[in-house]
Structure 1
Amino acid sequence: MNEQRTRTIGGWFRDRRIRTKIWLVYMPLLLIPFLILGYAGNAVYSNAIVDKTAKSFADNSGLIISRLNGMLGNVESSANMLSLNLNRAISAHPDSSADFNLARYTAITTQISLALLVFPDVDSAVFIDTSGRVYASHPKLEEKRPPDSDAIYAELDATNGINLWLPMQRRDYWVTDEQTPVLTAGKKIIDIQTGRTLGVLLLNLKESRLSAVLRTMNAEPSARYLIVDEGGSVVSASRDDALLRSVEDAELASWIKEHDDATSIRSIQREQMLLTIRSFPMLGWKLASVTPLSALTTDLTQIKLTLAIVAGLCLLLATIGVTYLSQWIARPIIRLAKSMKGFQEGDLDERLVIDSKDELGLFAAGFNEMIRRMKGLLANIKVEQKQKREYELALIQSQIKPHFLYNTLDVIYALSEMGRIKDVQRTTKALADFYRLTLNQGREMITIEQEVRLVQDYLAIQHIRYSDVFTYSIDVDPGIMPHPILKLTLQPLIENAIYHGLKLKREPGRLLIRGYRSRGLIVLEVTDDGVGIPGEKLPALLRPPADPSEEKEGSFGLRNVNERIRLSFGEQYGLAIASEPGRGTTVTVTLPSVEKNGVTTDD
């Protein structure tokens, strides 16, 4: 096997041109080392940068999560501290009347303000007692009561006093800035002595505090961090354009959903990206980073440019060397190859002109004599092929004429059996007119106008017998009437439609013959609404059977018409059959648009 492969490669190299052989030997020796060195260096350096960056992002993500966990822990610690302090403040100033209790209000707001001083990560806080009174760290938070405050109160009241985190959202109530999203921790305040509910506490953490951490701890300017919740929405990001919306890129969103702690390189929006993700178990969030690989490998541009310059210089030197060797060694052979190329392309009128008396001169003389003999042989083959086509066409036509005559005589016989003497006379007259046009002084090619007359005579014959089986109409564009067509092209198609389509139908059918010009071609259609043909049988209708004894009458006529057209006009013309069982069949004839003088038109 190896010996055969080596022999094949050697034969291929032997058949190359001299200049190509020089290039194939000289260029690889020069360029391959540079290409290997450049590719290996680029791959190793790129992989090292990507691996180092991926590890750096993974470590950095761990630090970010630790910082965010600390912030969230401060919020929960603030809630726990306020739970105790509010117990003392409320017990010291009980709500004894429906009037505003200034001492109680001052005590509660003072505890809230002290908690915010101790835990600066908390932006604002609100306490709602069981009477619905609001005590806040800022008067603005007390101005507006939300329509769903009862639902929020009920959700917190249903807990046993644990901290409950509400989703990151923008709100126009219980916040100091309506445009800034906030993350809210809620807690039910319970009297530690009696266990009764004192109210609910809400602590707000601005999203800007989270995104500030993402931006501050992002060492790569082109990278962006996203914090995504369980529903796939971005709750915080180093860039504000994606905040509180689903991850825009579907592939990125799918990757984030499927992974908890992973690193991968993916194509995001037609750009290679380094993706890292770490889980954020405290709130069920995930921290993801997205970094363009192109930004990580910017230093490779200078290396690639240097390699490209070196390779270009090598290519230039190699080109100069190949050109010199070609002129010195291969010029006579190249001139001979250029002359022979014309012969390969089919131009048998050129001759090799080499005046020398050496081996090349002898070769040129022998080659010129061979071309002269080939031209003579080709001329003889063309004559023989033309005669063969004419014999085949005559044989097929002789098969069609008796085929039609037998069927027509059957019609006349049937009419006479039924005693329809007038119909016999009209049928005989139509048959005479039909054969008068068919004989046509022995010519096989007639005009479409004459073919239409043949069809009209034939349909007159068939309609006399099958008047209750079908009706017919003929619609042929007068502009195509002068164009040539083979005699008896449409008649076998119409006969097949009647006997194998309409006759088998349980109710009267319709036959339509159309002719028109389309895209520079002549198109004739025979359409019936008969029983149709199963789809699996259509390909076999125009294909000769393996056993001639199995030839069916319907397919015989169709196949003969198709073969006659292809023999006369070319392989690209002929019949096409479209049928649907129960709906009918359409047989389309495609012919070239040829004028009377035989020149194809351009319309």
Structure 2
Amino acid sequence: MNFIKDKYINMSIRKKLTYIYLPLTLIPLLIFAIIAYNTHQTTIIERSLIAAEENNWLLVSQVEDILEDAENCANMLAININNTIEKYERTQSEPKISLFNAINNELSYAMIIFSDINSIAYVDITETVHYTHPNLISNIDKVNEEDYRTTLEGSNGINTWFQLTQRDYLVIEQEEGVLTLGKKIIDIHDGKTLGYLYINIKDKTLKDVFNKQQSSSFFIFENGEALLATDDNHRIPVPVEESFYAYESRDSKVYNTDNEKMVVTTLPFKSLDWQLVSVTPLLD
């Protein structure tokens, strides 16, 4: 201790001033560096949250466009089926098979216009099935056993969405999930029921919208359950609050998990009671 004291006493004035002012210089620089780092981290988080929210909005809009196309298709077919039947009734000398083919042509034409639609079936009041693919008539009787027909019978012709699911009827491939839009077709002149229209969108069509964003994981929830996910296990990799699954929730947060920060954002759909939740790694 005396050695250090003696060494300090024997120092030149310049060295003494250097040792005194050096800490006074370094401490502010250190404080500035800490503040700059924290500000940088805060900026990164804020930008990441904004980017995630904007990205979710774009993705939801793309899915909404697919759903809107299906509804436009249903509305168009409601008019075209009416016109086709009316035209046939004016020329009843034609065989009934011509009406069958004419309605099938309308369904096929709609598939060309609305390319995101996977298949269309129309079951008229005589239980004749019109279709865009022959597999749609397999197990067709089940449509009357489930709530599809019952729900549409009680409607006034509005477009009705059914839950995304897998089934063995009214589908081309039983292994694939489909989202179905149903509509009761009503005679525009007397209000009588003509039949029931079913429009299918493959779940893969919806997944493809999200699979373009390979750095993020996306989940669609309905009533707290994951309907669709880009991850096979359908589980969010971070322990988020249940409020994130609730419909019409809008929130963005950063979560720490396994030494990694994740940006979790949620946004509701307009057409359906769906909630999109995205999980994206936060890059420094």
Question: C-alpha distance in 2, partners of 1:111/1:148?
Answer: 22
Q: Give the alignment partner of residue 132 of structure 2, picking from 123, 130, 137.
A: 137
The answer to whether structure 1 residue 254 and structure 2 residue 250 are counterparts is: no
Q: Give the alignment partner of residue 181 of structure 2, picking from 185, 190, 198.
A: 185
Q: How far does residue 236 in structure 1 lie from its aligned partner after superposition? A: 2.8
Instruction: Provide closer, same or farther for how the CA distance between residues 248 and 45 of structure 1 changes in structure 2, counting only shifts above 3 A.
Output: closer
Q: How far does residue 271 in structure 1 lie from its aligned partner after superposition? A: 4.8
- Residue pairs, 1:19-58, within 5 angstroms: 29=23, 36=31, 38-58=33-53
The answer to whether structure 1 residue 87 and structure 2 residue 75 are counterparts is: no
Q: Deviations over 1:291-315 (max 9, x none)?
A: 233xx11xxxxxxxxxxxxxxxxxx
Q: How far does residue 32 in structure 1 lie from its aligned partner after superposition? A: 5.4
Range with greater deviation from structure 2 (258-267 or 113-122): 258-267
Structure 1 counterpart SS, 2:115: coil
Letter in 1 for 2:115: P
The residue number in structure 1 matching 2:203 is 207
Letter in 2 for 1:235: L
Instruction: Provide closer, same or farther for how the CA distance between residues 53 and 250 of structure 1 changes in structure 2, counting only shifts above 3 A.
Output: closer
Percent identical pairs in the alignment equals 30
Letter in 2 for 1:65: V
Q: Deviations over 1:208-266 (max 9, x none)?
A: 222211223x3xx432222212x122233333442xxxx45684261413571121123
Question: C-alpha distance in 2, partners of 1:107/1:129?
Answer: 13
Q: How far does residue 269 in structure 1 lie from its aligned partner after superposition? A: 7.0
Q: How far does residue 136 in structure 1 lie from its aligned partner after superposition? A: 0.8
Question: C-alpha distance in 1, partners of 2:52/2:187?
Answer: 46
Structure 2 counterpart SS, 1:159: coil
Aligned residues: 258
Question: C-alpha distance in 2, partners of 1:253/1:182?
Answer: 29
The residue number in structure 2 matching 1:280 is 269
In our comparison, the structure showing a higher alpha carbon Rg is 1
Q: How far does residue 121 in structure 1 lie from its aligned partner after superposition? A: 1.5
Structure with a larger share of its residues in helix: 1
Letter in 1 for 2:271: M
Q: Deviations over 1:190-223 (max 9, x none)?
A: 011121111110001111222211223x3xx432
Letter in 1 for 2:264: L
The answer to whether structure 1 residue 222 and structure 2 residue 215 are counterparts is: yes
Instruction: Indicate if the aligned counterparts of 2:216 and 2:279 stay in contact, CA closer than 8 A.
Output: yes
Q: Deviations over 1:112-139 (max 9, x none)?
A: 0001111111111011112222111111
- Residue pairs, 1:66-85, within 5 angstroms: 66-85=61-80
Instruction: Provide closer, same or farther for how the CA distance between residues 269 and 50 of structure 1 changes in structure 2, counting only shifts above 3 A.
Output: same
Instruction: Provide closer, same or farther for how the CA distance between residues 37 and 286 of structure 1 changes in structure 2, counting only shifts above 3 A.
Output: same
The answer to whether structure 1 residue 163 and structure 2 residue 159 are counterparts is: yes
Question: C-alpha distance in 1, partners of 2:264/2:162?
Answer: 28
The residue number in structure 2 matching 1:536 is none
Instruction: Indicate if the aligned counterparts of 1:232 and 1:257 stay in contact, CA closer than 8 A.
Output: yes
Instruction: Indicate if the aligned counterparts of 1:262 and 1:277 stay in contact, CA closer than 8 A.
Output: yes
Instruction: Indicate if the aligned counterparts of 1:62 and 1:278 stay in contact, CA closer than 8 A.
Output: yes
The residue number in structure 2 matching 1:325 is none
Letter in 2 for 1:291: T
Question: C-alpha distance in 1, partners of 2:40/2:141?
Answer: 58
Q: How far does residue 33 in structure 1 lie from its aligned partner after superposition? A: 6.1
The residue number in structure 1 matching 2:224 is 232
TM score, norm. by length of structure 1: 0.40
Question: C-alpha distance in 2, partners of 1:177/1:92?
Answer: 34
Question: C-alpha distance in 2, partners of 1:51/1:87?
Answer: 54
Q: How far does residue 173 in structure 1 lie from its aligned partner after superposition? A: 1.6
Question: C-alpha distance in 2, partners of 1:253/1:105?
Answer: 53
Q: Deviations over 1:375-423 (max 9, x none)?
A: xxxxxxxxxxxxxxxxxxxxxxxxxxxxxxxxxxxxxxxxxxxxxxxxx
Structure 2 counterpart SS, 1:105: helix
The runs of 5 or more residues in structure 1 that have no matched partner are: 1-17, 19-24, 95-99, 298-603
Q: How far does residue 149 in structure 1 lie from its aligned partner after superposition? A: 2.8
Question: C-alpha distance in 2, partners of 1:81/1:148?
Answer: 23
- Residue pairs, 1:313-332, within 5 angstroms: none
Letter in 1 for 2:163: P
Q: Give the alignment partner of residue 254 of structure 2, picking from 265, 273, 276.
A: 265
Instruction: Indicate if the aligned counterparts of 1:273 and 1:290 stay in contact, CA closer than 8 A.
Output: yes
Question: C-alpha distance in 2, partners of 1:82/1:206?
Answer: 20
Question: C-alpha distance in 2, partners of 1:184/1:72?
Answer: 10
Q: How far does residue 167 in structure 1 lie from its aligned partner after superposition? A: 0.4
Structure 1 outlier segments of 4+, above 6 Å: none
Structure 2 counterpart SS, 1:252: coil
Instruction: Provide closer, same or farther for how the CA distance between residues 193 and 292 of structure 1 changes in structure 2, counting only shifts above 3 A.
Output: same
Letter in 2 for 1:183: L
Instruction: Indicate if the aligned counterparts of 1:232 and 1:253 stay in contact, CA closer than 8 A.
Output: no
Instruction: Indicate if the aligned counterparts of 2:129 and 2:137 stay in contact, CA closer than 8 A.
Output: yes
Instruction: Indicate if the aligned counterparts of 2:123 and 2:129 stay in contact, CA closer than 8 A.
Output: yes
The answer to whether structure 1 residue 147 and structure 2 residue 115 are counterparts is: no
Instruction: Indicate if the aligned counterparts of 1:212 and 1:238 stay in contact, CA closer than 8 A.
Output: no
Instruction: Provide closer, same or farther for how the CA distance between residues 215 and 34 of structure 1 changes in structure 2, counting only shifts above 3 A.
Output: farther
Question: C-alpha distance in 1, partners of 2:30/2:150?
Answer: 71
Q: How far does residue 37 in structure 1 lie from its aligned partner after superposition? A: 5.0
The runs of 5 or more residues in structure 2 that have no matched partner are: 5-18, 90-94
- Residue pairs, 1:436-455, within 5 angstroms: none
Letter in 2 for 1:223: S
What RMSD in Å do the two structures reach over aligned CA positions?
Answer: 2.8
The residue number in structure 2 matching 1:583 is none
Instruction: Provide closer, same or farther for how the CA distance between residues 201 and 253 of structure 1 changes in structure 2, counting only shifts above 3 A.
Output: farther
Question: C-alpha distance in 2, partners of 1:132/1:70?
Answer: 32
Structure 1 counterpart SS, 2:220: strand
- Residue pairs, 1:149-548, within 5 angstroms: 149-150=144-145, 151-216=147-212, 218=213, 221-229=214-222, 231-242=223-234, 247=235, 251-252=239-240, 254-257=242-245, 260-267=249-256, 271-293=260-282, 296-297=283-284
